[in-house]
Amino acid sequence: MDREDPEATHTHIIIMEIIAQFTLIIFGIFLIGSGFFMLLKPTFVRRMVRKAGSTALIHYTELSSRMVPAISFILYADYSHYPTSFKFIGWYILVTSIILMFIPHILHNKISNQFADFLTPGIFQLFSPLAFILGGLLIYVVS
């Protein structure tokens, strides 16, 4: 009877934890970078929001890329000081991404444009500190 080597299993778990942690740190850096763009180039960010779902490629690429940190939140949850929060955030992002995969990209783009109409450059600048805080907090709690 083949039995899996417990030491090899433990090594795989550690590698998975490190990859999830690294991915979340990269995501935190992405949030901080987004905050800088929101503060310094809010018109550019608004144009990017308008492009969400504008083509099938952009639609599926955006949603697939959201799933990477979502899965990392879920996988890293048991190693964090906030497992319930990490699992909630991860599952929320993952489930909403999957749901959005099933809506036509044209509808996704319509919703994105409605948000862009509301999110003026001034509002992006107002909320940019939130991106700094969330990115920095994420890096802090996973480091």
**Are residues 128 and 35 in contact, defined by beta-carbon separation less than 8 angstroms?**
yes
Per-residue pLDDT tens digits for 88-121: 999 999 999 999 999 999 999 999 999 999 999 9
Instruction: Find, among 32, 37, 20, the residue nearest to 89 by Cα.
Output: 20
Q: Is 121 exposed, middle or buried (0-12, 13-18, 19+ CB in 10 A)?
A: middle
- pLDDT confidence of residue 2: 52
- pLDDT confidence of residue 12: 85
Percent of the chain whose predicted confidence (pLDDT) is above 70: 97
- Measured in Å, how far apart are the chain's first and last C-alpha atoms? 40
What are the residue ranges spanned by the domains of the chain? Answer: 6-142
Query: Tokens standing for 114?
Result: 């409605």
For residues 18 and 30, what is the distance between their CA atoms, to the nearest angstrom?
18
